[in-house]
Amino acid sequence: MNLIKKHKKIFILISIVVAVLAFFLWPRPTKPIDTATIKRASITQSISATGTVDSEKSVDLNFLSAGKLVYLGVRKGDVVKQWQVIANLDQRTMQKNLQTSLRNYSLQRNDFDQTKSDNANHTPADALTDSLKRVLENNQYDLDKAVISVELQQLAREQSVLATPIAGIVTRADAKAAGVNVTAATTFTIADPTNLVFKIDVDEADIGKITEGKPLTVVLDAYPEQNLHLSVSSIDFTTHATSGGGSAYTVEAAMPPNTSLMYRIGMSGDAEVILEEKNNVLTVPLASIVEDKYVYLQTEKGFDKRVLRLGFKTDTDAEVLDGLHSGDKVAIDPTEAEKIMAQKRFIFF
């Protein structure tokens, strides 16, 4: 009787141990692992950047000297024609200086002619003595000096008139009204609104991937529903420092004709430069790839580790050259698939 009780206790103890082991080791139902289906698609490698609209042709106009502004023909926002006069300085002093120079020239011309007449119309080249040669040379120098003085006064008069060399819109006008004194720092800016470009800064590490003619898509903040399909028209040859302390190059793309003036200078937006594009290729999400060489392929028995040969890559996908077929399913989260495979190996062991 005692033997039976003793065996019964051993049996109960073994049953408890088995139950505990089964609780911890028996595979529990696992939640389904999300998968991605391998399919053919188009993939694009690109660079994204923000930028602004600017004029392809823009000029800053300044007077070369200070003076009183007596005429102001434009204000900010006005449309101007090529060679239109936009401002004048007071020319009264310049006019008097020009008249004085002309009189000095006339006096010097008379002296020049008289000196030649007094010396038998000799020139410095055929002067009979060195003394005569010096007299004739000084006579020529004095006349040349008088001519230059007249030209300088005429040039100063011309420079008191500010005219724009291009047609466009006045985007900056430091002077607001005539009758005030201005300096050489007073600026008028004229920008051509019909020939606009979209400018972006591209990091030095990426500039080698961009060439003229590369396509890019621009979405302006002012027109979020409109995609502008442009192409790179120019790339700066020199770099500049960015606000973050890095180095970048300015890349420009010509905007569509702005005949209705819907695009304005300074509008900001986002651009995507297309570096390379492949169509109708097998693709796999980058998140599914482990160590850049294999994925976990879903099979009837679970997941199987499958080695791949990859080709073209983007930020989200990669081209599959070998190792998968269209319609295959791979684990989106390879770590979860690895856990399931590890559990099965442990239980089997």
In a domain, 82, yes or no: yes
pLDDT of residue 21: 54
Q: Are residues 74 and 220 in the same domain?
A: no
Q: Are residues 270 and 205 in the same domain?
A: yes
Top pLDDT among 9 and 132 is at: 132
Is pLDDT above 70 for 29? no
Look at residues 261, 277, 293 and tell me which one is the last residue of a structural domain.
Answer: 277
Query: For residue 248, what are its two tokens?
Result: 């970048």
pTM of this structure: 0.65
Q: Are residues 168 and 208 in the same domain?
A: no
Closest listed residue to residue 197, CA positions, set 214, 173, 211, 218? 218
Look at residues 231, 255, 277 and tell me which one is the last residue of a structural domain.
Answer: 277
CATH number, residue 248: 2.40.30.170
Is pLDDT above 90 for 223? yes
Under the banding of pLDDT at 50, 70 and 90, the label for residue 294 is: confident
In a domain, 2, yes or no: no
Q: Are residues 262 and 284 in the same domain?
A: no
In a domain, 217, yes or no: yes
Q: Are residues 170 and 81 in the same domain?
A: yes
CA gap 253, 240 in Å, rounded: 18
Is pLDDT above 70 for 8? no
pLDDT above 90 covers a percentage of the chain that reads 38
In a domain, 290, yes or no: yes
CA gap 65, 184 in Å, rounded: 5
Q: Are residues 76 and 165 in the same domain?
A: yes
pLDDT, one tens digit per residue, over 207-217 is 998 999 999 99
In a domain, 16, yes or no: no
Question: Which range marks the domain in which residue 261 is found?
Answer: 46-57+191-277
pLDDT of residue 10: 65
Is pLDDT above 50 for 303? yes
pLDDT, one tens digit per residue, over 92-110 is 877 787 788 888 888 888 8
Q: Are residues 122 and 168 in the same domain?
A: no
Mean pLDDT of the chain: 85
Q: Are residues 149 and 196 in the same domain?
A: no
Q: Are residues 231 and 219 in the same domain?
A: yes
What is the number of domains present in the chain? 4
CATH number, residue 341: 2.40.420.20
pLDDT of residue 19: 58
Mean pLDDT is lowest, of 117-126, 259-268, 309-318, for: 117-126
Q: Are residues 146 and 69 in the same domain?
A: no
In a domain, 300, yes or no: yes
In a domain, 5, yes or no: no
CA gap 324, 284 in Å, rounded: 9
Q: Are residues 142 and 171 in the same domain?
A: no
pLDDT, one tens digit per residue, over 226-258 is 999 999 999 999 999 887 788 999 999 999 988
Q: Are residues 53 and 199 in the same domain?
A: yes
Under the banding of pLDDT at 50, 70 and 90, the label for residue 30 is: low
pLDDT of residue 103: 87
C-alpha distance from residue 17 to each of 8, 20, 213, 281, 344 (Å): 14, 5, 74, 55, 22
Query: For residue 323, what are its two tokens?
Result: 């190792």
Look at residues 257, 277, 297 and tell me which one is the last residue of a structural domain.
Answer: 277
In a domain, 99, yes or no: yes
